[in-house]
Amino acid sequence: MKTAAAAGATCIAVLALTGWVQRPVFAAVSQDPLVPVYQEAAREYDIPWTLLAAIDRYAELSKTKSERQAAPYYGYAFEPALWAGIGNPDWSDVNPWSIDLFGGIGQDHNHDMLALPWDANDRIPVLAAWLDTEAEDVDVAVWDLFQDEIAIDRVFAFERIFDQYGLHPTRHCFPLAKRYNYTVKYTFGAGRSFGGRRRHEGVDIFADYGTPVLACSTAYVEVKGWNPFGGWRIGLRDTNNVYYYYAHLSSYAKGIHIGDVVQPGQVIGYVGNTGYGPPGTAGRFPPHLHFGMYRDVGQHEWAFNPAGPLSVWQRLPQKIIPPPID
Ligand SMILES: [Zn+2]
In this prediction, residue 135 carries a pLDDT of 60
The pLDDT, as a whole number, for residue 193 is 62
Give the distance (Å) from ligand 1 centre to CA of residue 320: 24
- Answer whether residue 311 shows pLDDT above 60: yes
Cα of 139 to ligand 1 centre, how many Å?
Answer: 37
- More confident: 49 or 1: 49
73 to 6, 10, 59, 122, 314: CA distances (angstroms): 15, 11, 11, 13, 36
Lowest-confidence region among 132-141, 220-229, 313-322? 132-141
Cα-to-centroid distance, 236 and ligand 1 (Å): 17
CA of 229 to the centre of ligand 1 (A): 10
Does 196 score more than 80 pLDDT?
no
Which pLDDT value is given to residue 27? 40
Q: Which residues contact 309 (CB under 8 A, 6 or more apart)?
A: 1, 172, 216, 293
> Taking 60 as the threshold, does the pLDDT of residue 288 lie above it?
yes
Res 2: pLDDT: 36
Closest residue by Cα to residue 272 from 283, 285, 287, 252: 287
> For residue 157, how far is its CA from the centre of ligand 1 (angstroms)?
27
Cα 76 to ligand 1 centroid, rounded to whole Å: 37
**278 C-alpha to ligand 1 centroid (Å):** 18
Beta strands in the chain (DSSP E): 182-185, 203-207, 212-214, 219-227, 231-238, 242-249, 251-252, 261-262, 267-270, 288-297, 300-304
**Does 307 score more than 80 pLDDT?**
yes
* Residue 31 CA, ligand 1 centroid: distance in Å: 36
* Proportion of the chain above pLDDT 70, given as a percent: 87
Higher pLDDT, 8 or 53: 53
- CA 93 to chain centroid, in Å, comes to 32
For residue 311, the CA-to-ligand 1 centroid distance in Å is 17
* Residue 253 confidence (pLDDT) above 80: yes
- Asked if 176 and 271 touch (Cβ cutoff 8 Å), the reply is yes
Encode pLDDT of 9-20 as tens digits: 333 333 333 334
CA of 199 to the centre of ligand 1 (A): 10
Where exactly are the structural domains of the chain? 32-165, 182-314
Going from the C-alpha of 129 to that of each of 35, 198, 322, the distances in angstroms are 17, 47, 42
Please state the φ and ψ torsions of residue 76, each to the nearest 5 degrees. Answer: -65, 135
Beta bridge partners of 234: 224, 246
pLDDT number for residue 298: 64
Q: What is the pLDDT of residue 23?
A: 43
- 182-314: CATH topology is Glucose Permease (Domain IIA) (2.70.70)
Give the separation between CA 268 and CA 254, rounded to whole angstroms: 8
Q: Which residue has the higher pLDDT, 158 or 144?
A: 158
User: What local confidence, expressed as pLDDT, does residue 29 receive?
Assistant: 63
Q: Residue 326's pLDDT band (boundaries 50, 70, 90)? A: low
CA of 284 to the centre of ligand 1 (A): 13
Q: Separation of 297 CA from ligand 1 center, angstroms?
A: 23
CA distance from start to end of the chain: 35
- To which H or E segment does residue 125 belong? helix 120-133
Whole-number Å distance, alpha carbon 303 to ligand 1 midpoint, is: 13
- Tens of pLDDT, residue by residue over 100-116, are 999 999 999 999 999 99
